[in-house]
Amino acid sequence: MIEWLLVPVAYLLGSISSAIIVCRVMGLPDPRAQGSGNPGATNVMRIGGKKAAGITLFGDMLKGLIPVLIAQALNVGPLILSAVVFAAFVGHLYPVFFGFKGGKGVATSFGVFFGAHWMLGGAVAVTWYIVYRLFKISSLSALVASVLAPVYVYFIMGMQPLVYVAALISVILIWRHKGNIQRLLAGEEK
Q: What is the pLDDT of residues 84-117, one digit of tens each?
A: 999 999 999 999 998 898 999 999 999 999 999 9
Average pLDDT, the chain: 95
pLDDT of residue 189: 79
Domain that includes residue 165, residue range: 2-186
pLDDT of residue 35: 87
Q: What is the CA radius of gyration of the chain?
A: 16
Per the CB < 8 A criterion, the answer to whether 91 and 105 are in contact is no
Crossing angle of helices 6-14 and 78-93, in 10° steps, is 30
Domain count, the chain: 1
Alpha helices in 30-137 (DSSP H): 41-48, 50-73, 78-93, 106-116, 118-135
pLDDT single digits (tens) 33-47? 998 888 999 899 999
pLDDT, greater one: 1 or 140: 140
